[in-house]
Amino acid sequence: MSSSSTSQFGQNQWLVDEMYQRFQDDPSSVDASWHEFLKEYSPESPDAGTGNAPASSAAGLNGSSAPASGNGASTSSANGQKAASSNGSSAAAPTPPAPKKPASSANETKVTSAPAASKPAAAKSAAAKPVTKPSTATETKSGSDAATPESKVLRGAAAAVAKNMNASLEIPTATSVRAIPAKLMADNRVVINNHLARTRGGKISFTHLLGYAIVQAVKVFPNMNRHYAEIDGKPNVVTPAHTNLGLAIDLAGKDGNRSLVVAAIKNTDTQNFTQFYAAYEDIVRRAREGKLGAEDFSGVTISLTNPGGIGTVHSVPRLMKGQGAIIGAGAMEYPAEFQGSSDEKIAEMGVGKLMTLTSTYDHRIIQGAESGDFLRTIHNLLISDEFYDEIFHSLSIPYEPVRWRKDIPEGVIDKNTRVLELIAAYRNRGHLMADTDPLQFVKDKFKSHPDLDVISHDLTLWDLDREFKVGGFHGRDKMKLRDVLSVLRDAYCRHIGVEYTHILEPEQQQWIQERVESHHIKPTVAQQKYILSKLNAAEAFETFLQTKYVGQKRFSLEGAESVIPMMDSVIDQAAEHELDEVVIAMPHRGRLNVLANIVGKPYAKIFTEFEGNMNPAAAHGSGDVKYHLGASGKYFQMFGDNEIEVSLTANPSHLEAVDPVLEGLVRAKQDLLDKGDGGFTVLPLMLHGDAAFAGQGVVAETLNLALLRGYRTGGTVH
């Protein structure tokens, strides 16, 4: 890449020239990746893009150019002093013909001619008389009859813009325009961003979706990615190897002025949506930080500009050399005749917002029908099922996207009944849609069920903002379908599946339903940090044991560390309600971690058991292995003032054999406290292995004792 050639930067030429000037003054002010390039760089003349350069005038000793005065008086230099000749005398310049417009010097020095001798005298005489009316706007300080226009040489960004616009006039362009419905794009963007907010973070914009649709449409119409060039004096069509999408990025300068750069996302035709999104965000971030390199400015094959972000509805951008087309996206607005309607009326009529797309293309190599078909392809992509399926799979979103379907008139079906049926379906089968696959083993299949699809209930995206009767659901008589789905999915379809409608007692169903469908409050920052500290403690304990005591049997908790903050939360609530004790029973897996981080057994005792050292003062040991042992301790609330006794029951046998032992211990403790029939102030907390819970008969036998008068304990947390 030749450093003397500036055509490669196109509309970004001004930025390169600006960096060159800063590099000359202070090399450290420019990113190090540019240093080698700028050492050999030769900027073009600042007047190259502004048409005819102004004629040079005589220069004073300070190097500034100044036109001669019209009355033979000496000219004023940039610092306001008279320009002197080399021997110190004043230099009188010959009187040239009066120019039609003043010429500016190379350093933008303003020059004013001295007024005629009679003019100051007249002004002085006039000043002696009382002023009867204010001076008009056309009067100047020197008393001239008309204001003198000011001219200024364009430099930097302004000069580069002028040059690029002049160059763009050589391209014969035409423009195709198409209005595209934006409702599906907006609704699916809400689903995507809600999922990202709950998981890894980030935010998808409309430009991300539109840019990716343009890239996919170019695969169908590769001619839109070509450009015209003259090679050896002959016209040629150049077909790039890849699609490099140019993004027009608005940057705010330190002086408050705004400028535009066009940076390229390279090889977009080889990227899935996640890769495209990452490359897009990287380009924008580096542009904001001023860290774009020379390669980022070159190689654009097709551009996207989005003036709709500032409310522009329709735009016909200029096409630069080296590109075959530029796509402009307008603002998303309702049709003009509906912009005065209320939100309720718009939802009732099924009116959605439109986005105007323009395709400005080089008419030498692209024809109008081809450009129109290109926009139609983008239109079809932005309302197609397959386009959003690909995006959702790429982002690992387990739920189906919103689908584009025609609205169904209200008179054909009773939609209020259909919404109630949908609510019942989520309560019965919502767990089938729960996101319980954290490793994403299945990447090409959505979590769904026909009964959970709004389309199966004859509801469409046009119903999302309409209100329906919900019969007291979530404490409301009427709700928008969008809000109904939000509550149902938050309750039944996140990372925990809830299935309870098989329970025969209506009171129990209602009790669970009210708590599952309630609004969940996000923990405070302090609570989140506390949860993280418990997770870190569980992880650090297991990491230390596997590093220090390699090969020793310990029944690790690895992969299930979240059980520690969960148990901590249960015990915290028991302390909050001022219970007397929590008694825990569990199998071997994770027992050492629970002993250390829940019961509070000292690390030294646990490590001593691994070392095999016996206390000489003890007459004899327990005779049992470390992961069979129990312990007791005291739990203190982190965000409260209460405390509670905590004990872990010894489990010398395997798996679920300890279940009836726990219930017997708890009932005995409650009998000793003797607080009456309702005095169940000792809480049993029982952990199970998933297969053992379903397969061992002792579990069912223990559950059958739950309501017998002589065995009941007031309930167990499993």
Q: Write the pLDDT tens digit of every residue in 394-441.
A: 998 988 999 999 999 888 899 999 999 999 999 999 999 988 887 777
| Residue in the structure block whose two tokens are 């169940």 | 680
pLDDT single digits (tens) 89-125: 343 344 444 444 444 433 443 434 444 444 444 444 4
Q: Where in the chain is the domain with CATH 3.30.559.10?
A: 172-394
> What is the phi/psi pair of residue 187, to 5°?
-70, -40
Output the CATH code of domain 526-704: 3.40.50.970
Whole-angstrom Cα distance, residue 361 to residue 373? Answer: 13
pLDDT band at 249 (very low <50, low <70, confident <90, very high): confident
Q: Is 227 helix (H, G, I), strand (E, B) or coil?
A: strand
**How much is the pLDDT for 203?**
93
Give the max Cα distance, the chain.
125
Tell me the percentage of the chain whose pLDDT exceeds 90.
48
- Which 8-state DSSP code applies to residue 111? -
Query: Can you tell me the distance from the alpha carbon of 480 to that of 469, in angstroms, rounded to the nearest whole number?
Result: 9
Q: Which residues pair with 583 in a beta bridge?
A: 647, 684
Three-state DSSP state, 176: strand
CATH number belonging to domain 415-516: 1.10.287.1150
341 phi, psi to nearest 5 deg = -80, 155
Q: What is the pLDDT of residues 595-650, one digit of tens each?
A: 999 999 888 888 887 776 655 554 444 545 666 778 899 999 988 889 999 999 98
Q: Please check the confidence at residue 469 and state whether its pLDDT lies above 70.
A: yes
The four Cα atoms 550, 551, 557, 561 give a dihedral, to 10 degrees, of: 20
Terminal CA-CA length for the chain: 69
pLDDT value of position 128: 43
The region of weakest confidence among 51-65, 467-481, 504-518, 636-650 is 51-65
54 vs 212: CA distance, rounded Å: 47
pTM of this prediction?
A: 0.72
Per the listing, tokens 């939360």 go with: 569
- Name the fold adopted by 172-394: Chloramphenicol Acetyltransferase (3.30.559)
The C-alpha atoms of residue 261 and residue 280 are separated, in whole angstroms, by 14
Residue limits of CATH 1.10.287.1150 in the chain? 415-516
* Residues paired with 612 in a beta bridge: none
Give the tens place of pLDDT for each residue, 258-272.
777 888 999 999 999
CB atoms closer than 10 angstroms to residue 581 = 20
691 — pLDDT class (breaks 50, 70, 90): confident
What are the residue numbers of the active site? 363
Angle at 208 between CA 204 and CA 211, to 5 degrees: 170
> Can you spell out the DSSP letters for 32-46?
GGGHHHHHT--PPPT
